[in-house]
Amino acid sequence: MLPAVIAARDAGRRLIVPTQNAAEAALVDGAECLSATHLLEVCAHLRGVQELPLAFSPASDTHVFPDEDLQDVRGQHQAKRALEVAAAGGHSLLMSGPPGTGKSMLARRLVTLLPPLTEAEALEVAAIASISGRPLDPTRWRIRELASPHHSSSAPALVGGGETYRKYCNDTKNDATAQKNCATGRG
């Protein structure tokens, strides 16, 4: 839904969306979205008989106080410092080590160090969620999420993998380099 709303806004067009998607569509600043519950309402609006209501979104809560905070972690001074440096500089972070050493615990607390998403970042994340069919909570749309893949996930699974990846690998059977990359998950 969001990519269509963004495109309509950029083209200077109004958009009619289902009432169920009105809160999501209203997240796009500057977009004029009307909501309708039935196609007969749309027809009445187009004939000038009935005005459709503007879509609106509930207030976004960007100051959620999480249950987990970095100050609750005992010890782990180097790991906490690494989290702070990564969060402050916008750096990537790779944690490795044996099970039970606190990697997941620290990763869940990294989100609390990061600022809320900017509107552009939030729209990008929400558009991806919208396209993938994941539900979007308009009240929490500017809060960063933690991606926590399973430890046995393959490299193709981490970057999207799936049927498109398999099709690419099958289409490049005559290309030795591409086949090597597909076999090692670097597709």
pLDDT digits (tens, 9 = 90+) for 11-70: 999 999 999 888 888 888 888 999 999 999 999 999 999 999 988 776 655 555 567 778
Question: In 3-state terms, what secondary structure has residue 36?
Answer: strand
Q: Are 146 and 108 a contacting pair, CB within 8 Å?
A: yes
- Distance, in Å, from the CA atom of 102 to the CA atom of 176, rounded to the nearest integer, reads 41
Q: How many angstroms separate the CA atoms of 110 and 94, rounded? A: 12
Cα distance between residue 7 and residue 159, in whole Å:
26
Report the percentage of the chain scoring pLDDT > 70: 80
pLDDT tens digits, residue range 126-168?
888 777 777 777 777 777 877 777 778 877 777 766 565 555 5
pLDDT for the residue numbered 108 = 86
